[in-house]
Structure 1
Amino acid sequence: MHVAYVVGQSTGGLPHYTAELANAVSKHAEVTVLKPDKTSADDLFDDEVEVIDAFKPISVSMPQLYSFEVNPFDFVRGIRSYDNLKLLDELDPDVVHDTSDMFPQVKLYAAKHNVGERWPFVVTRHEVALDRFSLSRPPVFVEEAMLAALPDVHESQYIVHSHKQKAALSTHGIDDDIIEVIPHGAYEVFGTHEDVDVDVDPNSLLFFGHIVPPKGLDTLAAAMPLIMREIPDVKLMVAGEGNLPRKLKRLQKNHPENVEVHNYYLPNDEVKNLFGRAEIVVAPYRSQGGTKGHSGAVSTAFSFGKPIVASTAGEFREQVQESGAGRVAPPEDPEKLAAVLIDVLQNDEKRATMRENSLRMAERLSWSSIADQHLDLYERLAGRQHATHSPTASK
């Protein structure tokens, strides 16, 4: 079995996701990764994985899209570089898998090179919009409009991370039979609870990830003064690239002892230390008519055995509260978020139980288990392709 992975983004969590999956699958199959020549996961691929720097970075991250800080020359050069999907001719894998949502440039050149007709073509959708053309998230609207305007590609299979996502994707006209539900693995690329060599900061909260409006950092900033009334030494650690909300800037100016900001894309070692220091990981996402089958922050929190407080957006109720790894609160409700965080911070026994359940989730979502589910799918698709193109089938 030879699997070729295609990476459509150079920054953020998608390269990390690809590295985790490729490394795990490479224990059982030949793996090649076609990726931009510079990504956030360049040092994470195992030696068993053949890595080809096939594309130029498009230099567009989610924070850049929300702030309209896009270099048009890099953008065009990056898009055109995906013509290098023609390298699949030489590789001739058994399965081609785009692990990064099939961005417009991948769809454009996959159609040009007939990828879906020549090999089983798998696409992982990490987030599925219920309303593809909603104006509530302009970058998503633009992306969906571009995808709709491009030539169709024959996809053999879609992968989503939850049954809610499957139901949402089926409303896009995708047949249920070609939508497979495989959970998102618990990130280990930053380390695990066994790798931590720093002490937990008492009463510390960690917000980790791209700082964009849908992540709800403004709600957490608004909750902080309410928490500080009950727990004066609470500390909010914010780590990620993007524009800081005004509420957070004001809070940092007035209460610098309660706020610690790392406003840049963090190297992997810094990520490990911040998760090690955190008492609770917070994911206060807004609900914007989409289905979020995972969160990089939540996936990483599982590996570090951290209690989690999240909103009820997407699948967080099932992943966090029903698993026992944490609690949830309604989106965009600072008062209820503050009440939940105060309750968890003040209850040592609850946090201990949440830590245990968070580690159980990491075990359940291990990449070896996730790889096995992918390999089963690849083998079915490759077998189907072989049967379709065999001499007997053609008679």
Structure 2
Amino acid sequence: MTQIKRLAFIGNSLPRRCGIATFTTDLQQAIARSAPDVETTIVAMTDHGHSYDYPSTVGLEINDGMLDEYERAAGFLNAKRFDAVSLQHEFGIFGGPGGSHILALLSRLTMPVVTTLHTVLERPTAVQREVLMRIVEASAKVVVMAEKGRDLLRSVYRVPAGKIEVIPHGIPDFAFVEPDRAKAEFGFSGRSVILTFGLLSPNKGIEVMIDAMPAIIAKRPDAVYVVLGATHPNLVRDHGEAYRESLVRRVGQLGIEDHVVFLDQFVDQPTLLGFISMCDVYATPYLNESQMTSGTLAYSFGLGRAVVSTPYWHARELLADGRGLLVPFGDAAAIGAAITDLLTNDEKRQAMRARAYAVSRSMTWERTAERYLAVLESARHGQKLRMLPRADPDRMPSDQSILPDMQIGHFLSMCDDTGLLQHAVHSVPDRLHGYCVDDNARALLVACALNAPGEQRLSEVLTSRFAAFVQHAWNPDSGRFRNFMSFDRRWLEDRGSEDSHGRTLWALGEVARSDATSARRQWAAALFAVALPVVERFRSPRAFAFTLLGLDAYMASGVDDPEAERLRSVLAERLAASLSAAETDDWTWFEEGLAYDNARLSQALIQTGLATRTLSHVEAGLRSLRWLMAQQTAPTGHFRPVGSESFGDGGRKRPRPFDQQPLEATASISACLAAWRADGNAAWRTSALKAFSWFFGANDLGESLVDPETGSCRDGLHADRPNENRGGESVVSYLLSLAEIRQLRRVSGERMKLALPRALRA
């Protein structure tokens, strides 16, 4: 049951005649039906010079060119205390250059925003890119309706994969029916009906379909092409009905007046569904491939119609695997041949209809509403990290001595054509100790972190190298990952530890969600699924935690994996049970002693609890992390991680302070930020910044561990001096933390105030 009680939609609304108005209204009504306890309202965009008789579901309208009305709308939404906002974005419906007026509204909202992008441009103008990036940054999540949208957001706009959700266009839950009854109702009995519907405009390719009709009629003399839809209002405003009249003339020139019917109507949904039901073939002959979403296509597909379409982006995905027929753009002969084939082959047409209808059951508005509610609810947990972009983030003041640039020179020097080396002698890579899957898995996490906005991605070659190491580490005979490899590429074991297996799953889950390439995301998801089941036999709490972090990313990638969902529940329960079994009044931990990567146990419970809406897991994670951070705070207030001398201590002893390692600071930063997302307490963010400051000298020795020019990081602190070696684990730990803090700064829009020694601040 959703916890959202009040939900607002920003977009166009019926009775305005456009696809966004139809979508916004349909989504609002679907959520109102699915969750009747949720109060919903629409903030409707009204185009200049028009007025509409809006229904009661529209709580406020904005005249698109009036900037002050956007600000007024933000005040309305804040005053009404809406829990979340669903923004429908399309180029052209908001005022200002590139639609920038909407930023005045978003910058003032106090609740999280989930933005649905109806168009993602492959080649935006500079203004369009800037505005869209700021909308994305102001949004807790962005929704697209096709995988192509996800790919463009990743490659063109560098949006983190974890911020993107793919939710297909909703469809009515309509029965699979034969067309005869509807044909009789609309006066087309005995005809083979081809249908196109939607607002008419030149990019729809209607003239191509008209040109195809003579060839179709030659084989099916009973064929009729029904063009249902009013002319687009913008086209009427600028050119009147010239386009429609040109189509009518074209029909007359071809002598096919008895076979083409224009219905100049904008119909309600029941009437529309009747028209779709009567067609034998639905055609979308669009002329431009850059069509990310087509509601007309989704509706016809969802009603189990045989579809012939040009290969625009949405159609390529929806009609793949025999669910429809694709023909070249502007090719009247090809579309005519394809439609004729379907009209003269009942068996083929019926099989295509059945496939389309079966696949579309997951797209009904009821299912779509459920998915939107889940995304909106998850956005509420992360709203504290949403940027309010009143200022351009690229122009925000920064202090680079406090928050360094991302330098990866040393990281690159630690890599060769096999992968990331484990150790270094000072800053020189040490080949003696070879490689391990632990560090190469961490390197994959770095690669994913550098896919975030504002960072420079690792080269494709290097990321592939880390992935290849992980793939080679997989031992199908044992069902486990090997860990240690000598410099001459000999595996030193048949299987690694439970912890290294869990850490590798964590990396694979993140790659499945966040990698820049769809092929590698698919590889990671497949290997994750194969390597996951063995974890159920593990005993290590850290293996549970690493695997849960991997599951958090893997499930967020959009996979439908009930077994993974079951195992996530099992592992989280085991981790929570470990805490319950060991916890006393003065010891709030999962084990009898403290070891390495401690904070990951708390982080795993927090993130799993948020994802599965299990409040007890979130509370257990927060409780244990609060206790751990108290143990890791020196009397003077700076961060003091659990030292390696404490690892493996029996009994419930106070942790010893040395040797201190970067891994502990990195784990603590991530866990504290997860806690901040969970309960919004600013103290967690302060703790994360203190842990990050440890790298730069806010530590027991007052010594910086980082060389900001090369990005190298010392291996830790001894009692009397820093460890001068700068190995693989240390550099990836530092880079992961730097990436996380840089993204924190980016989304919060604030200067990072770290507790650094005065000499470093100068």
Structure 1-normalised TM-score? 0.79
Equivalent residue, structure 2, for 1:167: 151
- Check the 8 A contact 2:74/2:108 in 1, yes or no: no
Aligned residue runs from structure 1 range 336-347, under 5 A: 336-347=334-345
Residue 287 of structure 1: how far off its partner (Å): 2.6
> 2: CA distance between counterparts of 1:109 and 1:145?
12
Gaps in structure 2 of 5+ consecutive residues? 232-242, 385-675, 687-762
Give 3-state SS (helix, strand or coil) of 1:129's partner. Answer: coil
- Check the 8 A contact 1:12/1:210 in 2, yes or no: yes
Aligned residue runs from structure 1 range 196-235, under 5 A: 197-199=181-183, 201=188, 202-235=191-224
Equivalent residue, structure 2, for 1:325: 323
- Check the 8 A contact 1:16/1:40 in 2, yes or no: no
> 2: CA distance between counterparts of 1:372 and 1:41?
29
- Check the 8 A contact 1:301/1:358 in 2, yes or no: no
1:12 to 18, 40, 46: 18
CA distances 1:72-96 after superposition (whole Å, capped 9, x unpaired): xxxx46x764442321112222221
> 2: CA distance between counterparts of 1:373 and 1:206?
30
Aligned residue runs from structure 1 range 88-107, under 5 A: 88-101=77-90, 103-105=93-95
Task: Output the amino acid matched with 1:272.
Answer: L
Aligned residue runs from structure 1 range 73-112, under 5 A: 76=65, 81-82=69-70, 83-101=72-90, 103-105=93-95, 108-112=100-104
> 2: CA distance between counterparts of 1:158 and 1:252?
47
Equivalent residue, structure 2, for 1:390: 681
Equivalent residue, structure 2, for 1:251: 251
Q: Which moved more, 1:225-234 or 1:265-274?
A: 265-274
Alpha-carbon distance change, 390 to 94 in structure 1, aligned in 2, over 3 angstroms: farther
Greater length-normalized contact order (CA 8 Å, ≥ 6 residues apart): 1
Equivalent residue, structure 2, for 1:272: 273
> 2: CA distance between counterparts of 1:332 and 1:168?
25
Residues 1:287 and 2:279 aligned together: no
Residue 284 of structure 1: how far off its partner (Å): 1.0
Residue 149 of structure 1: how far off its partner (Å): 6.7
Task: Output the amino acid matched with 2:684.
Answer: A
Residue 172 of structure 1: how far off its partner (Å): 2.7
- Check the 8 A contact 1:187/1:299 in 2, yes or no: no
Residues 1:122 and 2:80 aligned together: no
Equivalent residue, structure 2, for 1:3: 7
- Check the 8 A contact 1:94/1:119 in 2, yes or no: yes
Equivalent residue, structure 2, for 1:296: 295
1:179 to 161, 164, 175: 164
> 2: CA distance between counterparts of 1:149 and 1:127?
13
Equivalent residue, structure 1, for 2:544: none
Equivalent residue, structure 2, for 1:30: 38
- Check the 8 A contact 2:9/2:88 in 1, yes or no: yes
Residue 117 of structure 1: how far off its partner (Å): 6.0
- Check the 8 A contact 2:200/2:229 in 1, yes or no: yes
- Check the 8 A contact 1:222/1:247 in 2, yes or no: no
Alpha-carbon distance change, 367 to 271 in structure 1, aligned in 2, over 3 angstroms: closer
1:52 to 54, 58, 62: 58
Equivalent residue, structure 2, for 1:315: 314
Q: Which moved more, 1:362-371 or 1:9-18?
A: 9-18
Residue 152 of structure 1: how far off its partner (Å): 3.8
Equivalent residue, structure 1, for 2:370: 372
Task: Output the amino acid matched with 1:264.
Answer: Q
CA RMSD, 1 decimal: 3.2
Give 3-state SS (helix, strand or coil) of 1:330's partner. Answer: coil
Alpha-carbon distance change, 54 to 119 in structure 1, aligned in 2, over 3 angstroms: same
Residue 159 of structure 1: how far off its partner (Å): 0.7
> 1: CA distance between counterparts of 2:108 and 2:301?
35
Alpha-carbon distance change, 220 to 194 in structure 1, aligned in 2, over 3 angstroms: closer
CA distances 1:261-314 after superposition (whole Å, capped 9, x unpaired): 0123233343233213211110111134x2x33322222213432111111111
> 2: CA distance between counterparts of 1:315 and 1:150?
21
Report how many residues are paired: 356
Q: Which moved more, 1:104-113 or 1:201-210?
A: 104-113
Residue 259 of structure 1: how far off its partner (Å): 0.9
Residues 1:156 and 2:140 aligned together: yes
Task: Output the amino acid matched with 2:305.
Answer: K
Alpha-carbon distance change, 34 to 393 in structure 1, aligned in 2, over 3 angstroms: farther
Residue 109 of structure 1: how far off its partner (Å): 4.7
> 2: CA distance between counterparts of 1:380 and 1:114?
19
Residue 151 of structure 1: how far off its partner (Å): 10
Alpha-carbon distance change, 360 to 88 in structure 1, aligned in 2, over 3 angstroms: same
Alpha-carbon distance change, 308 to 114 in structure 1, aligned in 2, over 3 angstroms: closer
Give 3-state SS (helix, strand or coil) of 2:214's partner. Answer: helix
Residue 329 of structure 1: how far off its partner (Å): 0.8
Residue 338 of structure 1: how far off its partner (Å): 0.7
CA distances 1:147-181 after superposition (whole Å, capped 9, x unpaired): 74799442222111122111112303433332221
- Check the 8 A contact 2:169/2:295 in 1, yes or no: no
- Higher-Rg structure is 2
Alpha-carbon distance change, 294 to 146 in structure 1, aligned in 2, over 3 angstroms: closer
Give 3-state SS (helix, strand or coil) of 1:205's partner. Answer: strand
> 2: CA distance between counterparts of 1:95 and 1:195?
41
Residue 361 of structure 1: how far off its partner (Å): 3.0
CA distances 1:117-147 after superposition (whole Å, capped 9, x unpaired): 62221111122221124xxxxxxxxxx8567
> 2: CA distance between counterparts of 1:127 and 1:187?
22
Give 3-state SS (helix, strand or coil) of 2:325's partner. Answer: strand
> 2: CA distance between counterparts of 1:233 and 1:113?
54
Structure 2-normalised TM-score? 0.43
- Check the 8 A contact 1:20/1:187 in 2, yes or no: no
